[in-house]
Structure 1
């Protein structure tokens, strides 16, 4: 298992783009642009620390991001608010094509952790896991 030791805007956006490229290949999608809908997932029995609670209430609230289609830079800004801490896992799936724009769903943990604790390191694009 590949442990991630660093996380910043560049690494996070690069890993997201790798996951998007792989998913587009799997689904045989050709699009010029990508957009993302972020869906925070509450994990029963998992404890949120102060930073997690702040992200949940302020940044990842329905009022702020609910059902909004975001560009890559916006996703990095939203989910990168605590870098080097990042969501411990993010599932990425393809939703639909809207013209020439591929829309992806990012189901994200509300737990933000240091890079060495991120899941899906074996994919080469932690914390992202492709959901077909």
Structure 2
């Protein structure tokens, strides 16, 4: 039954990754050329979610086979870390979007770009 929990966790992380990717693509589009980094990270998350879908498919189709306990533990560690990273990214983007919405001046796009650049290094570390 541990496999069922693993499959559910994989599906949950895929959903979270998809939401984060969508948010990054939207945010990247709203800030012009400064959004290139956001769109790149969004693409990388989308590709990673594709790998997770393959992993989920493998687990679903191989239920009759015995999986290594260490492999399952590793998968859970990766999934837990993904959830934390996705939460951090959502938090950063949420803060930037709120600041951008609060700024009504014509220079708001420039300010958003500067703020994104300052947050960019933290996102890249994630």
Task: Determine if the TM-score, normalized by the shorter chain, exceeds 0.5.
Answer: no
Higher relative contact order (CA 8 A, sep 6+): 1
Q: Which structure carries more helix by proportion?
A: 2
Flag the structure with larger Rg: 2
Q: TM-score, normalised by structure 1?
A: 0.28
Q: TM-score, normalised by structure 2?
A: 0.29
